[in-house]
Amino acid sequence: MASQPPLGRTPSGPSHPELDESAALDVLARGELEICGRIVDASNATLLAKAELDGVHAFCVYKPMAGERPLWDFPGQTLANREVATYLLSAATGWAVVPPTTLRADAPYGPGSVQWWIAGDGDGSDSQPGDDDEPLATEGRDQDDDEIPLPLADPGAGLVDVVAPDRRPPGWLEVVEAVGWDGERVALVHADDPALRRMAVLDVVVNNADRKGGHILRGADGHVYGVDNGLTFNEDDKLRTVLWGWAGDQLAGEAVDVLTRLGADLDDDGPLRRDLLGLLDRREVQRTAHRVRMLLRSRRYPRPGGHRPSIPWPAF
């Protein structure tokens, strides 16, 4: 199994040592949660929180089940479970596509998922929520408390973009051309990058219905993560992603090896299957194992098709 990358220093400052994945999960699972703000452009209640455990402070994203907007094609109040299930499957690959994520029953606004915040470059001294596109709105805090040192990761990780068709960066792959709001033609493109290749495979397995460019972040350590994974594991084929650049291409040997191991982990007595059954419906777990088998049979990235939309809207 590939080694997990370090998460880097906790966002609260350089005084804390680097945390490995196990320690980060412990902070998220047992740390005292303080709500710091609300991410205003999220469709469901998505809160910035700070977890504190044994002197370690770490920012995280808390999504209470009570704040999930009802959807016609997903059972109610299950998105937090799906976030955690996607993390568990990501951890089983060894690719660390998804940041550490856990369920908290004792969170301030009720049960929900808690995920490690992926900070961008910088020490936080010059970057504040609200400096640019105001991604966070603080609630119930004094003005002096609103200035939270929190370097923000760049959506798209510098690996996904919308450009003029003749301005595609060298080596990048085109997903689709379209007409922008101003009537000019644009192209959705992404890099031919190993981290994105792995993410694309994971998204097929979990049946991700919402892999937007803005859900791809690069941490301060350079590692690329996929976040906002609630719309996953549907029984019906729902794959919607901006990462179609390899459609029909052969899977790399690394991906085949990982999928083979996942197939064993999803067998009747597999440890991953047992963990997923604690979060998902049995049929959803069976369909996940089926998708792994189909990928191993074809050994190719799937192509978009069928009557469903293949790209999420908006793409970012």
The rounded distance, in Å, linking the Cα atoms of 52 and 293 is: 41
- Is 95 contained in some domain? yes
In a domain, 256, yes or no: no
CA atoms of 179 and 229, how far apart (whole Å): 28
Element (H, E) at 67: none
- What percentage of the chain reaches a pLDDT higher than 70? 85
Where in the sequence is the domain holding 123, given as residue range(s)?
Answer: 1-117+119-152
Write out the H or E segment, with its range, that includes residue 66. Answer: none
Question: Does 196 reside within a domain?
Answer: no
Model pTM score:
0.87
**Residue 90 to residues 100, 107, 165, 170, Cα–Cα distance (Å):** 10, 24, 33, 30
Quick check: is 112 in a domain?
Answer: yes
Tell me how far apart the alpha carbons of residues 216 and 98 are, in angstroms, rounded to a whole number.
10
Q: Is 48 left (phi over 0), alpha (psi -120 to 50) or beta?
A: beta
pLDDT value for 135: 38
Give the whole-angstrom CA distance, residue 171 versus residue 139: 44
Q: Tell me, what's the pLDDT at 235?
A: 94
Total structural domains within the chain: 1
- Taking only the tens place, the pLDDT of each residue in 54-110 is 989 899 999 999 999 988 889 999 999 999 999 999 999 999 999 999 999 999 999
Q: In the chain, what is the straight-line distance between the N-terminal and C-terminal CA atoms, in Å?
A: 32
Q: Does residue 294 belong to any structural domain of this protein?
A: no
How far apart are alpha carbons 151 and 148 in whole angstroms?
9
- Higher-pLDDT residue of 306 and 7 is 306
Residue 23 predicted with pLDDT over 80: yes
Q: How confident is the model at residue 313 (pLDDT cuts 50, 70, 90)?
A: confident
Query: Could you report the per-residue pLDDT of 262-301, keeping only the tens digit for each?
Result: 999 998 888 999 999 999 999 999 999 999 999 999 999 9
Q: Is residue 51 part of a domain?
A: yes
In the prediction, which pLDDT does 152 show?
Answer: 80
pLDDT tens digit sequence for 102-159: 999 999 999 999 999 998 875 433 333 333 333 333 343 443 444 455 778 888 999 9
